[in-house]
Amino acid sequence: MTIQLPPSAAPRSAYPVTALPAELRRLLRYLAKAGPPVSAYVYDGAVAAERARELRAALPDWAAVYYAVKANSFPGVVAALAPHVDGFEVASKAELELALRARPTGGDPPAVVAAGPAKSVPVLTALVRGRVEAINAESLLELHRISRIAVTEGVTARVALRVNPAAIPVTGSLHMGGVPSQFGVAEPDVPGVLRAARRLPGLDLVGFHVHAASGNLDADAHADYLRWCVEWSTRTAREHGVDLRHIDIGGGIGVAFEGEKPFDVARFGELAAQVEPPAGTKVVLEPGRFLVADCGWYAAEVTDVKTSYGKHFVVLRGGINHFQLPTSWDIVHNMAVLPIERWPTGCPRPAVENAEVTVVGELCTPEDTLLRDVRVDRVRAGDLVVFPYAGSYGWEFAMHRFLGHPVAERHLL
C-alpha cells in the first residue's frame, strides 16, 4: 500500500522567503548559528493578541471570548492573550493551572470554563475547587460526580449541560452534531438528564454548551449557528425550568489557508448584534485555532536532500514528532525555504533547484511526510524549512516520544 498523506501540493510553489517576517528570519538565522540542528516553534504573542482584540471589538456586549488553551498552551502565548480575552476554556488540570496563572498584573483570576468528554474525578475536583465559571458536563454520570465533589467541598458548582443536537438547520462548515458521538448528551435524552440534574445537590445548572461547528469560514453561517444556539437554549431552558445565564457555542471559526477567503469578523459581529439573548445571559465563544494559527511558525533544518527514482526528498531534523498537523488533518500546509549560508568546508552540500520536492521528517515511517510535490526555487542541506500558520495544534499535537528524538524548542519573538 502506498501512503499518500498529506495530499499533493502540485502545482503550488513554496512561499517566497519574504513571506516570513524579518524579525523571524533574524532569530532563525541566529539559532542556526548557535549549535544543534534547528527544530523549533517561534511565536509572536502580539499577533494572537491582535486577533483577540479584533474579534472582541466586533461582538456585542453580551458575547464573551474565551481562548481554548488546547490550541496553543505555550505560557508566553497564553499570557499575551490574557488581557484581550474574557476568559479561558480548559480541558485538564494542567490547562486550568496555566489559565489561572495568566492573570494580568494585579488583576483578578481569569474566568474559566471546562470541557472534555472524560473528565476524571481528580480533574473535576480541581475544577470545583477552582470555582470555575462553568463545568460543561458531558453526561448524567459526570453530573453525579460533580455533585458529590461539590457537596464534599461544601460549595456549589456551576454546570452547563453539553448537548449533541439532533440537527442544526443552518448551512456552512458545521458538523459534530446530530451524529453518534462521545461528546455531550444526545438531544432526545436532554429532558431526562435535566430532571435528574435538578434533583442533585451542590449543582447550579446555568445553561448549555453546544459545540457543533468546526473550521467555518462563512461568517453568515456562523452567525446563523450562534442564533440557533441561543434560540434553542432559550426555548429548552423555558420548557424545563432552567434559570438560563450561560450559553456556550464552542469555537469553530475557521482559518483560511492558501486560496481560501478569510472569515469576515466584522460581518459576523454585525450579524451577531441582531441576536437577542435573554437579559442577563452570557453567550460564550471558545475560539482556539482562529486566535493563534497565524502567530506561530515551525522551522526545521534540512539534514539532507535526496533523489530517489526521479523524486526529490527534503529530509528534516523534525517531522510529525514535532508538527503532525498536515498529515493527521490531511491538508496541504505550505512552507518557505530560509537560506542558511553557513556550511562545513569540504563537505558536499546536496541541493535541488527549480523542481518539485516532498518534505519528510526524521522518523522511521513513510507517514512522516509534511508536504508533497511543492515546487521550490532552491533548497539545500543546511537551509531551514519554515511552515507558517503553525501557531495552533502544532507542538501540543505532535508525537513527541516516538523514536525519542529531542522535542522541538519553543521561542517567543
* Element holding 305 (H helix, E strand): strand 296-308
The residues, ordered by sequence, that sit 6+ positions from 313 with a Cβ below 8 Å of its Cβ are 305, 306, 307, 357, 358, 359, 360
Nearest C-alpha neighbor of 62 from the set 191, 234, 312? 234
Dmax over CA atoms of the chain, in Å, equals 79
Q: Are 294 and 391 in contact (CB under 8 A)?
A: yes
Map residue 33 onto helix, strand or coil: helix
Q: What is the DSSP string of 42-98?
A: EE-HHHHHHHHHHHHHHS-TTEEEEEEGGG---HHHHHHHGGGSSEEEESSHHHHHH
- CA 384 vs. chain centroid, Å, equals 25
Taking phi over 0 as left and psi of -120 to 50 as alpha, with beta for the rest, 342 belongs to beta
Q: Is 387 left (phi over 0), alpha (psi -120 to 50) or beta?
A: beta
96, 126 in Cβ contact below 8 A?
yes
According to DSSP, the residues that pair with 158 across neighbouring strands are: 204
* Amino acid letter, 390: A
Residue pair 386/28 in contact (Cβ under 8 Å)? The answer is yes
Could you count the other beta carbons within 10 Å of the beta carbon of residue 140? 17
Q: Is 277 exposed, middle or buried (0-12, 13-18, 19+ CB in 10 A)?
A: buried
Catalytically annotated residue among 229, 295, 347, 364: 364
C-beta separation of 87 from 113 below 8 A: yes
The answer to whether residue 364 is catalytic is yes
Q: What are phi and psi of 49, to 5 degrees?
A: -60, -40
Which residues are identified as catalytic?
Answer: 364
